Structure 1
Amino acid sequence: MLYVVTGPPAAGKSSWIEAHAIAADIVIDLDRITSALTGPGAAAWCQHPLHLRVAHRARFAAIDEALQHLDRLDVYLIHSQPSPKALAKYRRHQARIVVVDPGEQIVMARIEAMRAPEMRRVATRWYRARRGRTPEAMPHASRRW
């Protein structure tokens, strides 16, 4: 099964996966990939453009490979704001779309406390894109599973 976990920055997407995935599953998370590719002491949410470029390439390769093995294991993919084209691709693989959203106020407070200030822009863009749309899945509060 493919689980595509969406939501704004600091919503609890990684925490949702930690609560649902098992050790044998594949987890594709850009933050984890970037962290694995950066040197000791790098920030937990490294946003350096060159690190992100390399991490994005690794993520695309991981997605393509993991999709070939859905009959043998579960794949958890964090994709904060998938495009219509990406959603169509995921749906062709019978993905379960999970929206993790504890609410804009909570997200902004978490960003203030734990993330780089530019993540406020990303969260604002995520909420603007969602306004007036029918959600792909019922939202999940990050700590109320």
Structure 2
Amino acid sequence: MLYVVTGPPAAGKSSWIESHAGPNDIVIDLDRITVALTGPGAPHWNHHPLHQRVAQRARYAAIDEATQHLDSLDVYLIHTMPSPKARARYKRLDARIIVVDPGEQIVMSRIESMRSPEMRRVATRWYRARRGGTAHGAMPHASRSW
């Protein structure tokens, strides 16, 4: 089964996966990939743009390979704002879409204390798309309801 975990930055997507994925599952999380590819002491967020670029390429390769094995394992994929093309692909793969959203005020507070200022822009765009009814196509789940 493919689980696509979506939501704004700092919503708790990684925490949701940590509480649901098992040791034999595949987790594709750009932050985790970036940390794995950088040296000791690298930040867990606010990565250098070149580090992110390399990690993004590794993420695409991981998605392509992992989705070929959905009959044998579960895959948890973080995708903050999937494009219509990505959503169509996930639908073809019969993915379960999980929206993690503790609310805009909590997200903005977390970004303020833990993330780079440009993440406010991403979160604002995510909420704007949600209000317009164009993002994700799934019902939201609070990040701590589990």
Give the TM-score taking structure 2 as reference length.
0.96
Question: How many residues end up aligned between the 2 structures?
Answer: 145
Residue 55 (structure 1) aligned with residue 45 (structure 2): no
Q: Which residue of 2 aligns with 1:88?
A: 88
1:89-104 correspondence to structure 2 within 5 Å: 89-104=89-104
The equivalent residue for 2:145 is: 144
Give the drift of 1:132: 2.5
Whether the 8 Å CA contact 1:34–1:46 is kept in 2: the answer is no
Structure 1's consecutive aligned runs of 4 or more residues displaced over 4 angstroms after TM superposition are none
Instruction: State the partner residue of 2:105.
Output: 105
Contact residue 7 and residue 99 of structure 1 kept, 8 A:
yes
Q: Which runs of structure 2 are paired with 1:1-145 in the superposition (5 Å)? A: 1-133=1-133, 136-145=137-146
Q: Is the 8 A contact 1:29 1:77 kept in 2?
A: yes
State the distance in 1 between where 2:68 and 2:145 align: 32
Q: Distance in 1 between matches of 2:9 and 2:81?
A: 10
The share of aligned pairs that are identical, in percent, is 80
Rounded to whole Å, the distance in 2 between the matches of 1:37 and 1:124 is: 29
SS of aligned partner of 1:15: helix
RMSD: 1.0
**Residue deviations 1:75-132, cap 9 Å, x none?**
0000000000000011110000110001000000001111111111111111111112
CA distance in 2, matches of 1:50, 1:122: 19
Residues 43-97 of structure 1 show CA distances to partners (whole Å, capped at 9, x for unaligned) of 1113211001100000000000000000000000000000000000111100001
Report if aligned partners of 1:3, 1:95 keep a CA contact under 8 Å in 2.
Answer: yes
- For structure 1, the residue ranges without an aligned partner over 5 or more in a row are none
